[in-house]
A and B are shown apart, each in its own frame.
Chain A
Amino acid sequence: MIQQLDTLRAMRERALLGGGPERIAQQHRRGKLTARERIALLLDQDSFQELGALATHQSSEFGMAEQRYPGDGVITGFGKINGRRVAVFAQDFTVLGGSFSVVQAQKICRIQDLALESGVPLIGINDSGGARIQEGVRSLAAYGEVFVRNVLASGVIPQISVILGPCAGGAVYSPALTDFVIMGRSNSYMFITGPEVIKAVTGEAVSLEELGGPVVHASKSGVAHLLADNDAAAIELVKQLLSYLPQNNTEDPPAIAAYDAAGRMDDALNEAVPCDESQPYDMLAVIGRIIDHDSFLEIQPDYAPNAVVGFARLDGYSVGIVANQPMVAAGVLDINASDKIARFVRTCDAFNIPVITFVDCPGYLPGVAQEHDGIIRHGAKVIYAYCEATVPKIAVITRRAIGGAYLALSSKQMRSDLVYAWPSAQIAVMGAEGAVRILHRHELEQAADREALEREFVRAYREAFFNPYKAADVGQIDEVIEPRETRPRLIRALELLRTKVQQNPPKKHGLFPV
C-alpha cells in the first residue's frame, strides 16, 4: 500500500507541475499566471477539489505518445468563492499550448454537467492555442460537446468566461455562448480566423490586436463585457460580477446588509438635468447618486456608450440598471445600443434581478446606414426583451422619452410595473420642430413670417407635450416625483415587487428577433 501511495503522490506531484518548470517560467515571463495560480486566486483557500487531475490523452500519432501530461492541459473541479459553491475549469497553456483535446472536452463537460445538475455558477478560464490538430476531427467534435452544454445551461446557471490568453477558431464559441466574457487587456485575443488566413483569403492586412484584441471586442464587436488589466484584476472582476448574480435561475441574488440609508435624498439630483434641454448631463453621475454608494458595476462600458447597463445595489439588493447616456450621441438608440440593452434585460430576467430603466432618449437613430443594417430588427430586440421579462421593472423618465424610444424603454405597455417621471420629463410622439412642420404645414407655407410663426407653434407644442403631466393624466406615468426622492421611491417600490410573480404563456421558446 505504501508503494501504491508513493506512486499516486508522485503522479500528483507531476500533475501540479503542468508542462514543467521551464514552461511555467515562460508563462510568467509573458506576464501571465499559470492555470493553478489563477484558480488559487479565484477560489477560497483550500476549497478547490480537483477532478481528472491524472487524465491523459490516448493519441500516439505525430509524436504524441511522448507528450503525455497528467491533466492534459486543463484543470477542472469545484470550489467556493466567498463561501459560494462554483464549478471551474482553467486551460493550462504550459501543457501543449493548452490545445483542446478530447480528454480536455471530457473533463470540461463533466464539470459543466456537475454545475448544471447542482445549480451552481460555472467559471471558465480560457488560455488555449486552439484545437489539438494531432487529434483531427475528434478534437473538433469535442468542441461541440462543450457548446451544447453551454446552451443547455444558458439561463439556468450563470456562466462566466475569462479570456487570459489566445482563444481562436472554434474555441471562441464557447465563451460567446456564456453570459459574460472578461478579457485581459495585455494578453488575450479572440478571433475565428487569424491575420494570416485573412491575408490569404481576402488580402486584408491586420494585426492580432486590431483583429481580435481586447479593446476591439470591448468597443466594436461587443463580445467582451469587461476588460481587466491583468490576471489578478480579471479574477477580482469575476468575484464582483458573481456577487450580483444568484446561484441559478430559481434563486435570488445574494443581498448584503444595507450600508446606505434607504431614505437618503440627494438634493443635487434636483439640479442634475440642465434647464437647457440641448445641454447633456452625465447619466452615470445621476445613477451614482441614487444607488447604494459605490455599488455600480458597469457592463460593456466601451461598447455603445450611448446606452449604460450594469449591476448595482439598492438597499443591499441586486438590481440591473439600464439608462441612456445623454453625453454620447444624446443617448439615442442605435443598433448596438439596442443589442446591448436587450441582452442585459434578458440576463437580468433570467437571473431574477429587477430592472431599473432611466430614460432620456430622443428616439431611434435615423439614417440610411442604420436602416439598411437593420435598426428595425435590432430595435425590436429591446421591445421583445422588456415585454418578455417577468422580473420587477421600474422606469424613471428623467428628460426626453420621444417616439419609439418612449415605448420601447420600459413603458407601461412593455409591462413595466411602475413608471416615474421627473418634472423635467418630455413625453411626445416626436420632436417639436418636426411635429410642427407636419401639423402646421399649410399655415407655415402661407405665413408671411414663417420663422416667427414656426417659433410660436413650437412653443405651443412644447408647452402642451414637453412635460410629464399629459402622460400622467392618461395613466402612462404612475407618479411625477422630485428627482431627490428617486432613491427612496425605488427602494419602496422594489420592496413591494420583491414577491412579484408573472407568468408568460406556455411555449417552447419565443422567436427573438435576432
Chain B
Amino acid sequence: MELLPAGIWIALQGMALVFALLALLWGVVAALLRTEREQAAPEAPARPGAKQELAPALVTAITIAVLTHRRLQRKEAAPAARSHQPGALLHASRWVAAGRTRQNRSWPPGRG
C-alpha cells in the first residue's frame, strides 16, 4: 500500500510524457498540413478579363490548329463531321431505293 503514491506518480509522469509527445506530434502534423495546403492551393477559376496563363501566341496557335483540323475533317467528310455513314441506306426512303433500282435496270423484266 505504501508503494501506491509512487506508482500513481510514475503513472502520471508516463501519461504526461505520452500526451506531451502526442500534442507535439499533432502540432507537427498540423504544421505540415498547413504548409502542404498552402503549396497545393488550387488556382482561382479564371474570371473573364483575368490574365491568361498561356501565352497569347500559344492560344492563337491552338485555336488555328483546332479550326484547321475541323475544316479538314469537313472537307474530307471525316466520320466526326458526317450525319450518316457512306453506304448506309438507313436514311434512304423506300421510294428512293425502289426508284434507283428501276433507274439502273436497262430493260424491263421479261424483255431481257
Contact = CB atoms under 8 A, between A and B. Distances in A.
A and B: partners? Answer: yes
Given A255-B91, A501-B100, 6 more contacts: A83-B78, A239-B75, A246-B87, A251-B87, A254-B85, A506-B107
Interface string B92-110: 1101101111111111100
A501 B108 contact: no
Contact of A256 (B83, B93, B95): B83
Contact of A257 (B76, B83, B85, B96): B83
B99 A257 contact: no
A507 B106 contact: yes
B89 interface: yes
A295 B70 CA distance: 13
A83 B103 CA distance: 28
A22 interface: no
Contacts of A242: 76-77
Nearest to A506: B107
Interface in A232-252: 239-240, 242-244, 246-247, 249-252
A494 to B, nearest CB: 14
B93 A255 contact: no
Contacts of B34: none
Nearest to B72: A236
Given A252-B92, A256-B77, A508 B106 contact: yes
Interface string A485-514: 000000000000011011110111000000
Interface residues of A, number: 39
A259 B74 contact: yes
Looking at chain A's contact residues, the main secondary structure is: loop
A253 interface: yes
B82 A257 contact: yes
B32 interface: no
10 contacts: A249-B100, A250-B104, A252-B92, A254-B82, A255-B83, A501-B96, A501-B102, A503-B103, A506-B105, A506-B107
A390 interface: yes
Contacts of A294: 71, 74-75
Interface in A243-294: 243-244, 246-247, 249-259, 294
A495 to B, nearest CB: 13
B106 A253 contact: no
A501 B83 contact: no
A23 interface: no
A84 B71 CA distance: 19
A82 B100 contact: no
The 7 closest A-B pairs by CB, nearest first: A501-B99, A243-B77, A254-B86, A256-B81, A239-B76, A247-B87, A82-B78
B81 A257 contact: yes
A499 B93 contact: yes
B84 A254 contact: yes
Nearest to B84: A255
Contacts of B91: 252, 255
A83 B79 contact: yes
